[in-house]
Structure 1
Amino acid sequence: MSRYGPRIAALERRAERDRKRLEPEDEQPEPDDATTYLREGAGRAIWLYVEGRTGGRMVRFSPAELDALERAMNAWLECYARCYGVKLEADFSIREAAELLLETRNVDDVGQLLTDVPSR
């Protein structure tokens, strides 16, 4: 386990709680909540990966840590899509998301580019 293990575990737990909160199909979150799921959720997971890979000393995330980061990020991307009325089964790689974040420098763009929500 890397030094990021506890932070990754906390992110994954929080993402799962957020996703469960949106499970009742009759509950429709507000589009304004989408930004929160990206910035406070998926963006933090993506940035943790970027930090570990570019922070001067490259971190070797274990396969379990990478899986947990991806599960957290994908859970928040699903919450983000739900805010726009789209049910999505997100299965994106944390690396792909990190590359988009470094390219665009905007987590809102990352969410839209990965999920195509909202459509352009």
Structure 2
Amino acid sequence: MSRYGPRIAALARRAERERAALEESEARSARESQSDSRSPSEVLHTSEDAPDGRAGSEATRETEATPADADEYLRDGAGQAVWLYVEARTGGRLVPFSEAEFDALERAMNRWLECYATCHGVDLEASFTVREAAELLLETRNIVDTAQLLTRVPERRPASTPTG
């Protein structure tokens, strides 16, 4: 195990938890929109079904993932996974990853890219390499641009043509 092993394991666990939570939220919203006349994008949970057990006025509001949430999955998730790879591969001393560490790091990055795409209403099964993402990150210096270039989500708008 490399010195990055514990960080990789923590990233991998968090990515799986966040992906599962997002999938559950999407499934719950779909079920509620089929059985309820309320908007599927916003459901108020009462104290009876609040996941944390808070009562009455402390009921939680859960919403579907939106494009505004997407950047959080990149900054706090995919970006950290990609940067860990960059950190391990730069600085004069190459840190070797075990196969399991490398797979976990790549899987974590891809889970967060899937969360990012879901926030934009796109179902994506990400299978990008962490090296490819790292190269784009170093080129763009921006994890949002990196994710957009990798996933093609959201779709890029064509540049406007000059008139005249």
TM-score normalized with structure 2 length:
0.71
RMSD of equivalent CA atoms = 0.9
**C-alpha separation in 2, matches of 1:53 and 1:63:** 15
Aligned with 1:55 (options 77, 88, 91): 91
**By how many angstroms is 1:86 displaced?**
0.4
Which residues of structure 2 form unaligned runs of 5+? Answer: 30-63, 157-164
Q: Deviations over 1:64-104 (max 9, x none)?
A: 11100000000000000000000000000000000000111
**C-alpha separation in 2, matches of 1:81 and 1:20:** 14
- Counterpart residue number, 2:23: 23
1:1-120 superposed matches below 5 A: 1-24=1-24, 25-26=26-27, 27=29, 28-120=64-156
Larger helix percent = 1
Higher relative contact order (CA 8 A, sep 6+): 1
TM-score normalized with structure 1 length:
0.97
Large movers: runs of 4+ above 6 Å: none
Instruction: Determine what percentage of the aligned residue pairs are the same residue.
Output: 72
**Between Structure 1 and Structure 2, whose CA radius of gyration is higher?**
2
**C-alpha separation in 2, matches of 1:18 and 1:70:** 15
